Structure 1
Amino acid sequence: MKLYKILIIGILTFVSFNTLAQQNSTVPAEVWMCELNQGYSMDDVRKVSSDVQKFAKKNDMKSAQWIFTTFMGDMNPNGFALMTAWTDFSMMGNGFQDFFLGGEGDKIFSQWLKVATCSERNLVLVENTFNSMN
């Protein structure tokens, strides 16, 4: 799992901000280290992510979300990381307020808890030092 975390952190800083960070910038992000619960698949994770996207659009929240799975190294077929990032701390705070405290995310988060068990949740800063992917 430790190698998995190191790999994810490395990938986060390399590819994750093609959408949000076309220029050099640092943005806040939330990273969940998770495993699928029995009977669920990555399609269920994608469905929850789609619901989060609908919530974000409804609330004019500028954000993006990525799912990370390994293809080399600690090959846990049920393990994945989910990262959500925002353009700034204000956007992140408003998102947390609406989603977790305002009740709007209750149904989505309830489904998330059925789909996955997460061993870690970290708030990180992600710096985009360059992007030559486009």
Structure 2
Amino acid sequence: MSNERQIEDADLMDVAHDQEQAQRLRKALKVLAENPNVGGKLQEMAKEVLSGRISMKDAIETPDYMGALGDRMGQIRRAAENQTQAEREESRAKFAEWQEKQQQEEDRERAERDAPSLNLVTGPRRGGGRGHR
């Protein structure tokens, strides 16, 4: 997939409410596309959206893709229901750690995006600095 065109956050604005949500959605799609444990229609959908071959809006409206998402959510729910109390606590701790790392990364990216650029390049003034005719 690295040789293919990759969508930008702006390409997801037809379904996202704001730029940050679009960024999070693109990251989630990238995780789905690159995780070998995902497989099937869900991974196919993520790759198709990321490559720009299908829009996120069209993917949401595709029964096969939404069925795959529903199936995966059902698997996650069943796995959570079958966890012991110790496993639940361990999962919560891992999730909290992951969530903190995600927040730090988002804060860093936001700071980089919002910081003023110090590498401004300006060209010569038009007219060589002479007055207006």
- The TM-score, its normalising length taken from structure 2, stands at 0.28
| Greater RCO, 1 or 2 (C-alpha within 8 Å, sep 6+) | 1
Whose helix fraction is larger, Structure 1's or Structure 2's?
A: 2
Whose strand fraction is larger, Structure 1's or Structure 2's?
A: 1
